[in-house]
Amino acid sequence: MTRTAPADTVGYGAEEEAMRRYLEVGTNRALALDNRGPIRYSDDGRVHPDILESYWHHGFYVFTGVFGREELDDIERDFKDVMARLPVHKDADVDAQGRPALGTGCTSKVLYWSKPLGDPFGGTAYGKGRHPVKMFEPAAAKDAPDDIVYLIIGSLQFSRAALRAYGHPDLLAVSAAVNGDDFVPYTDVFFIKAPGLGASVAWHQDGVTHWDAPDWHQGSHGFNWMGQLYGCTAANGVWVVPGSHKQGKVDIKAMVAEAGTERLPQAVPMVCDPGDAIISNRQLLHGSFANTSKDWRVTLNMGCLPRAAVLDVAGGGIVTGTQVYDAAHIEERSKAIGLAIAARQHRFPDEAPYQYKPFIDAGKSFVWNDSMLSELHDYSRLDMSV
């Protein structure tokens, strides 16, 4: 781990009390919503319509108890190994033990860095300027490192446990219920909010390509799965404006200006326990504050898209360069789903594996062996952003 000491020496200064009240009020509002509970199915075996109705109304849903203790232990072991393999500093190519650092040999960008408690995206041109307002950046402790890794893209190639989590049959069933049986993946990451260090993410909406499309709808840009290793709080979690996924492209600058602060009054935090998983519409206005708390947040973020939103579409050029995603590209990128299902079946043989319709229709099957992880090397170069 990069830091485990309490975050007693960092905070929001003169705004500390206002921030504390904001977190408390937001938490109470979030817990009062009707979008929380276990994954349930109706008698026909489909995801329960009450869940889908709530998701489409609010734009997010908190699924409780998705990952059990045994699986969380697997994920935590892998996460600690991933952290131990990070470069010793931003420009290094070796880890603390002198080994080639995580991501060595990948052509796509794997590690995203920030100064402690910083906002690396806000007010910049990154992501086609979709983070127009910079978040408040608290002062870090004097002994904090110069730079931290807060985002690791292509996480499935670095962690068998993350790969198995991606193959969870209930998660994939929800993906199909929301995005269609032929849903496709687009990117997978570890998002890391270390106590007293974790960076903020400025308010934004994820979608970039379909806002002005004649067939735009509230699910055009898919959703993110966010599995939680340690849970998340108002202080370290993602905040969203419920219902904003239906409003098209919103004017973030105007909203912040009207509020007089980046603490948007209509937002709520995604609060959950270890082992919970959240689906969040990518069109929701969302962001997070610098983590001045004492609590870790480690999120396994796995994205899903409707196939129609991707096939023969020119990508937005966010996680990868601009390109048109043809059927061959989609098939190659979707291989990660087959590998994940196979890896999960190998680890949990008594669990019924998910049946991914595109593979069933094509007669494709995957049987896990340890060498298969190498097939995911540098797979994030195929990520699809729309």
Which pLDDT tens digits describe the chain residue by residue (386 residues)? Answer: 333 444 456 788 888 999 999 999 999 999 999 999 999 999 999 999 999 999 999 999 999 999 999 999 999 999 999 999 999 999 999 999 999 999 999 999 999 999 999 999 998 888 778 899 999 999 999 999 999 999 999 999 999 999 999 999 999 999 999 999 999 998 999 999 999 999 999 999 998 888 888 888 999 999 999 999 999 999 999 999 999 999 999 999 999 999 999 999 999 999 999 999 999 999 999 999 999 999 999 999 999 999 999 999 987 766 666 789 999 999 999 999 999 999 999 999 999 999 999 999 999 999 999 888 899 999 999 998 88
What are φ and ψ of residue 59, in 5° steps? 95, 0
Q: Which two tokens stand for residue 68?
A: 């059990």
DSSP for 225-291, written as a single string? EEEESS-B-TTTSEEE-TTGGGS-S--HHHHHHHHTSSS-TT-EE--B-TT-EEEEETTS-EEE---
Sign of the C-alpha dihedral, residues 129, 131, 134, 138?
Answer: negative
Distance of CA 122 to the CA centre of its chain: 18
Separation of alpha carbons 240 and 255, rounded Å: 13
pLDDT at 366: 92
For the chain, first and last CA: distance in Å?
Answer: 33
Angle, alpha carbons 156-320-102 (nearest 5°): 40
**DSSP category for residue 94:** B
> What H or E segment, with its residue span, contains residue 57?
helix 49-58
> What three-state secondary structure class fits 120?
coil
Angle separating helix axes 169-179 and 49-58, nearest 10 degrees: 60
Which residues have C-beta within 8 Å of that of residue 213, sequence separation ≥ 6? 220
Q: Which two tokens stand for residue 332?
A: 């190659």
Answer for the pair 204, 239: CB distance below 8 angstroms, yes or no.
Answer: no
Domain boundaries, the chain: 13-382
Answer for the pair 368, 96: CB distance below 8 angstroms, yes or no.
Answer: no
In Å, how far are 14, 193, 211, 281, 297 from 218, measured between CA atoms?
A: 39, 29, 10, 8, 28
Q: Which two tokens stand for residue 377?
A: 């090397």
Separation of alpha carbons 289 and 303, rounded Å: 22
Angle, alpha carbons 278-281-284 (nearest 5°): 115
The domain 13-382 is classified under which CATH number: 2.60.40.1890, 2.60.120.620, 3.40.50.300, 3.20.20.70?
Answer: 2.60.120.620
